[in-house]
Amino acid sequence: MVGVYDSGVGGLSVWKELVALMPGQDYVYVADSAHCPYGEKSPEYIVGRADAVTRLLLEKGADAVVVACNTATAAAISYLRASYQVPFIGMEPAVKPAALASVSGVVGVLATANTFKGSLYRDTVMKYASGITVIEKVGRGLVEAVEKGEIPRGLVRRYVDEMVGEGADVIVLGCTHYPFLEDEISRCAGPSVRIVNPAPAVAAQTMRVLDGHVSGTGTRKFYSTGDTAVLRSLATGIDPSLSPADFETISI
């Protein structure tokens, strides 16, 4: 069984790619929505939450965990790997494919403040984006809107205009909540700007880590530390066969 974890509903954008690749796999998803957003909380706080959620996922039977949150990956993946036996798959800042795809030599990355502070992001930029101008845009307010099931058109317009105005011809979705705003981001950016979503690559990496091993019968269970309404609506949009009984609020 694959455990999937995010600060909230955003990790569903990764789960969508996981089920597309491995539909027969069992999945348990935890949205830490009562403690979302993680974007500007302390690394210690995020490690504490990642630890509590991981314990729950293991208790529910996960034998691999996808940390479907760029912010939690940045703060906690080293701790998790050092603390538990199961494999952890984290989010990769998709700076390399973005740098390769850019013609203008300017790439925009939309992510949380904590993701930009992490060494994973900094190392990736150093390694793959030399000679490229990387515009780092903190998507303040976007995660909160997606958690409410809203599309914050004004904020999206502002962040996209700022990146495109500086010449970006590729925009990286550096937070797993943002694919739920992809249509709006794309509409604001226009047809000449490419949007890079790392979720398919993370799903493919998960399949490699599992080595083709599908452990289950296609069960799905979703827990949230907060309200399940938006989680249910987004997940059911991805898999219409889900039923209300698949969703539960849990206190951890």
Output b/e per residue, 114-151; b: 16+ Cβ within 10 A.
bbbebebbeebbeebbeebebbbbbbebbbbbbbeeee
Among 96, 177, 220, 232, binds ligand DGL (CB under 6 A): 177
Among 37, 93, 152, 198, binds ligand DGL (CB under 6 A): 37
The response to whether 71 counts as a known ligand-binding position is yes
The response to whether 7 counts as a known ligand-binding position is yes
* Identity of the residue, 9 or 189, whose beta carbon is nearer to ligand DGL in the bound complex: 9
What is the DSSP pairing of strand 194-196 with strand 170-173?
A: parallel
188 noted as active-site residue: no
Neighbours of 43 (CB within 10 A): 16
Q: In the bound complex, what is the minimum distance in angstroms from residue 130's beta carbon to ligand DGL?
A: 25
Instruction: Say whether residue 69 binds ligand DGL (CB under 6 A).
Output: yes
Binding window for ligand DGL (CB under 6 A); candidates: 56-64, 174-182, 201-209, 210-218: 174-182
Catalytic residue among 68, 69, 111, 188: 69
Alpha helices in the chain (DSSP H): 12-21, 43-59, 70-83, 95-101, 113-117, 119-128, 142-147, 153-165, 182-189, 199-210, 229-238
Instruction: Say whether residue 39 binds ligand DGL (CB under 6 A).
Output: yes
Considering only residues 82 to 121 of the shown chain, the ones binding ligand DGL according to CB under 6 A are: 112, 115
Report which of 246, 239, 236 is spatially closest to residue 18, judged by C-alpha positions. Answer: 239
Q: In the bound complex, what is the minimum distance in angstroms from residue 164's beta carbon to ligand DGL?
A: 22
Instruction: Say whether residue 12 binds ligand DGL (CB under 6 A).
Output: no
Among 176, 206, 224, 228, binds ligand DGL (CB under 6 A): 176
* Pair of tokens at residue 239: 């898999």
Q: In the bound complex, what is the minimum distance in angstroms from residue 103's beta carbon to ligand DGL?
A: 27
Task: List, edge to edge, every strand of the sheet that includes 64-67.
Answer: 88-89, 64-67, 2-6, 27-31, 220-224, 247-249
Q: CA-CA distance, 129 to 124, in Å (whole number)?
A: 8
Contacts of residue 40, Cβ cutoff 8 Å, sequence gap at least 6? 112, 113, 114
The response to whether 237 counts as a known ligand-binding position is no
* Identity of the residue, 189 or 199, whose beta carbon is nearer to ligand DGL in the bound complex: 199
Binding window for ligand DGL (CB under 6 A); candidates: 16-24, 66-74, 189-197, 226-234: 66-74
Contacts of residue 178, Cβ cutoff 8 Å, sequence gap at least 6? 10, 13, 110, 139, 142, 146, 185, 197
* Identity of the residue, 38 or 247, whose beta carbon is nearer to ligand DGL in the bound complex: 38
Instruction: Say whether residue 156 binds ligand DGL (CB under 6 A).
Output: no
Query: Catalytic residue numbers?
Result: 69, 175
Binding region for ligand DGL (CB under 6 A): 6-8, 10, 36-39, 69-71, 112, 115, 143, 175-177
